[in-house]
Structure 1
Amino acid sequence: MRMQRVAGWLSAIVCLLSLTCLSPGFAADPSSVPILLYHRLGPVSPDEMTVTTPVFEAQLKLIQERGYKVIPLAALVAALGDSAAPLPERAVVLTADDGHRTVYSDMFPLILRLKIPVTLFIYPSAISNADYAMTWAQLAEMKASGLVDIQSHTFWHPNFNVERKRLAPAAYEKFTQDQLLKSKAVLEQRLGGKVDLLAWPFGIHDDQLAQWAQAAGYVAAFTIERRPATRSDKIMALPRFIVTNLDRGERFVSLLGASK
């Protein structure tokens, strides 16, 4: 049920965002880097959040053919924090949210074959629990490849706008801190490594949430605002493009920063 609610909210959001971003390609800009966001793969695309596996493979091929290089998200965060160094040219970052099982079955073989780094944002409550989600063993296998970084998507993907209205201020603060801290602790305990990046559920964020996230140990956080990341963006609200099954050919190339 939770996955259906999440999918419904995100589908509505991506539809609204896409209306304003379909036509012009972004001009090539060495001061910006696109962060691409995937959710689910598979043989068919029944909704806006599913990219078919052949389309995903074609997108990876276009990245290579057009001379772009996929870099780790952590490398981009480090570059954004170093004002003395230029951002990597013709770079692109791949991320995937939620931990759907097709990220393991369909995405992982392709990134292994092509040696492409990907960051997964996971909400741990679903792992080895929900029927749509990966298992802890699968996540561990992906992390052991050296190509997959696993970071936080809160503990169970709440809608902070709803929770803020539902809870008293002190209870809302405790709820939020629990979501931020528990996710971080569980992922670090289960998989090892450092968890210090956060994807905001539904892209919902504000200055107070950002302060709480930083206090919890996160150094950067990510939204679903559909544009490339630059140094002018707030580090706790870096934008990402939700990739849909319609993002093919030149439409997909426009997300990478090339003019049509």
Structure 2
Amino acid sequence: MDIKSIVLSITFTLFSIQLWAQDNAVILVYHHVSNSTPPVTSVSPDTFKEHMRYLDQHHKVLPLQQVIESLQNNRPLPDKAVVITFDDGYKNIYENAHPILREFGFPYTIFVNPPLIGKAHYQLDWKQVQEMASQGVSFANHGNQHTHMLTREKNETEQAWLQRSIEDVQQAEQQLLAKLGYSLKYFAYPYGEFNNKLKNSLADLGYIGFAQHSGAISSFSDFSALPRFPAAGIYSNLKTLKIKMSALAMPVSEVSQQDPVITSSPQKLAFNVKDEDLRPSQINCFQNNEVLPKEINQEHITLSIKTIDKAGRHRINCTAVSKQDSSRYYWFSQPFLMATPQGQWLD
């Protein structure tokens, strides 16, 4: 190969890397920033500041709205774009997280339950919300109450449940509009729980949905249930979190599990994956930290799933190293949600 061909090859590779990097972002989700709240959903102020310092040095933190609109309209994003979100509107966000985020100049979004604002002692009040909004914080919808939305009332039909759930989201959105003067129509599912009927109905009404299974987002993502990486509790260790902060959305399609809600354990999970920048043979999928056996037929992957027999929230995470940058991993997560035999959902 002559020098000109080598230069052209390098130039094309660099151009491909730039395009590939500009169509990805990572959304982090936090709940509490405190030393005195439940450890499973909390990160200490010191650890939170460590996260923010790392982001400041290695990533570009952007507003959620900018990232969503850029990906939906195929506009390029900076490489290693990250969005910071919080669920539940806890007062310790204002007390402990907000000063740190202002120090770094980072935008962020809080998903709140409007009827709880100023009513529950552990929640923000509207004065704090409006103060934070004036300083660049955006607020979005987490429903009227922080409840398991998939729970049906006694003798409630599926259609009645769906109508009640949609009305709950719409009412919360109207309260946000009345209090803040804008409506993003972004909805974070409480506990990350949803089914296809709920997410499709909200999508038909123009809502963007945010879940709690892991992964990066891209222009080809499902905008009715976008993944977010948890960054608190056992997931707050920066050594592992920094790998997720640089994650890329795995280009999967034709996923066999259409609805995350299951009543019995599936035996298989199958999907197709484009392999321009990853090798299907290098995809590793994990269930409860154990590697799952897989079969590969060109771009078609079939996983053998271990039995799911406990009520709760489960997921399978798949990763594969990038051909172009071995320090970065493609990520795909499939949630599985199972109620108790009595139809209850666990916290």
Q: Contact between 2:111 and 2:142, CA under 8 Å: does it hold in 1? A: yes
Deviations 1:75-111 (A, max 9, x none): 111111123x333311100000000000111111111
Mark the runs of 5 or more structure 1 residues left unpaired by the alignment.
Answer: 1-28
Please list, as runs of the form range in 1=range in 2, the aligned pairs for 1:28-67 lying within 5 A after superposition.
30=21, 31-44=23-36, 46-66=38-58
Q: The residue matched to 2:39 in structure 1 has which SS?
A: coil
SS in 2 for 1:75: helix
Asked whether the equivalents of residues 26 and 229 of structure 2 are also in contact (C-alpha less than 8 Å), the reply is: yes
Q: Partner of 1:16 in structure 2?
A: none
**Relative to structure 1, is the Cα distance of residues 65 and 166 closer, same or farther in structure 2, using a 3 angstrom cutoff?**
farther
Change in 2 beyond 3 A, CA 1:46/1:176: closer
Give the SS at the match of 2:29.
strand
Instruction: In structure 1, give the amino acid aligned to 2:29.
Output: L
Q: Contact 2:110/2:139 (CA < 8 Å) preserved in 1?
A: yes
Q: Give distance in 2, aligned partners of 1:88 and 1:176.
A: 37
Percent identity (aligned) = 25
The more displaced of 40-49 and 30-39 is: 40-49
Q: Is the 8 A contact 2:114 2:172 kept in 1?
A: yes
Q: Is the 8 A contact 1:32 1:229 kept in 2?
A: yes
Q: Does 1:204 align with 2:193?
A: yes
What is the distance in 1 between the residues matched to 2:50 and 2:145?
32
Specify the SS of the correspondent of 2:139.
strand
Secondary structure at 1:160's aligned position in 2? coil
Q: 1:181–1:216: 8 Å Cα contact kept in structure 2?
A: no
Aligned counterpart, 1:244: 232
- Distance of 1:71 and 1:256 partners within structure 2: 13
- For residue 188 of structure 1, the aligned residue among 170, 177, 194 is 177
**Are the equivalent residues in 2 in contact too, given 1:45–1:52 (CA < 8 A)?**
no
Aligned mates of 1:205, 1:239 — CA distance in 2: 12
CA distance in 1: counterparts of 2:37 and 2:214, whole angstroms: 21
Matches for 1:208-247 after TM superposition, within 5 Å = 208-218=197-207, 220-246=208-234, 247=236
C-alpha root-mean-square deviation of aligned residues, in Å? Answer: 2.1
CA offset at residue 252 of structure 1?
2.1
Question: Are the counterparts in 1 of residues 31 and 232 from structure 2 also a CA contact under 8 Å?
Answer: no
- Work out which of the residue numbers 130, 148, 151 in structure 2 matches 1:140: 130
Secondary structure of 1:33 counterpart: strand
Describe how 1:92-131 pairs up with structure 2 within 5 A.
92-131=82-121
Q: Give the TM-score normalised by the residue count of structure 2.
A: 0.62
1:80 and 2:62 matched? no
Shift in Å, 1:166: 5.8
The structure with more strand, counted as a fraction of residues: 2
**Distance of 1:127 and 1:121 partners within structure 2:** 11
Please say if 1:162 is aligned against 2:151. yes
1:254 is matched with 243
Segments of 4+ in structure 1 off by > 6 A?
A: none
CA drift of 1:112 comes to: 1.5
Which structure shows the bigger proportion of residues in helix conformation? Answer: 1
Task: Report 1 or 2 for greater relative contact order, CA contacts < 8 Å, sequence distance ≥ 6.
Answer: 1
Amino acid aligned to 2:95:
S
TM-score under structure 1 normalisation? Answer: 0.81
Higher Cα radius of gyration: 2
Report the alpha carbon displacement of residue 165 of structure 1 after superposing the two structures with TM.
7.6
Closer, same or farther: CA 154–61 of 1 in aligned 2, 3 Å = same
Determine helix, strand or coil for the equivalent of 1:110: helix
Q: Aligned partners of 1:158 and 1:212: how far apart in 2?
A: 19
Distance 1:166 1:157, change over 3 A: farther
**What amino acid does structure 1 have at the position aligned with 2:142?**
H
Q: Which runs of 5+ in 2 are unaligned?
A: 1-19, 248-326, 329-347
CA deviations over 1:197-216 (Å, ceiling 9, x no partner): 11111112233212321344
1:178 counterpart residue number: 167
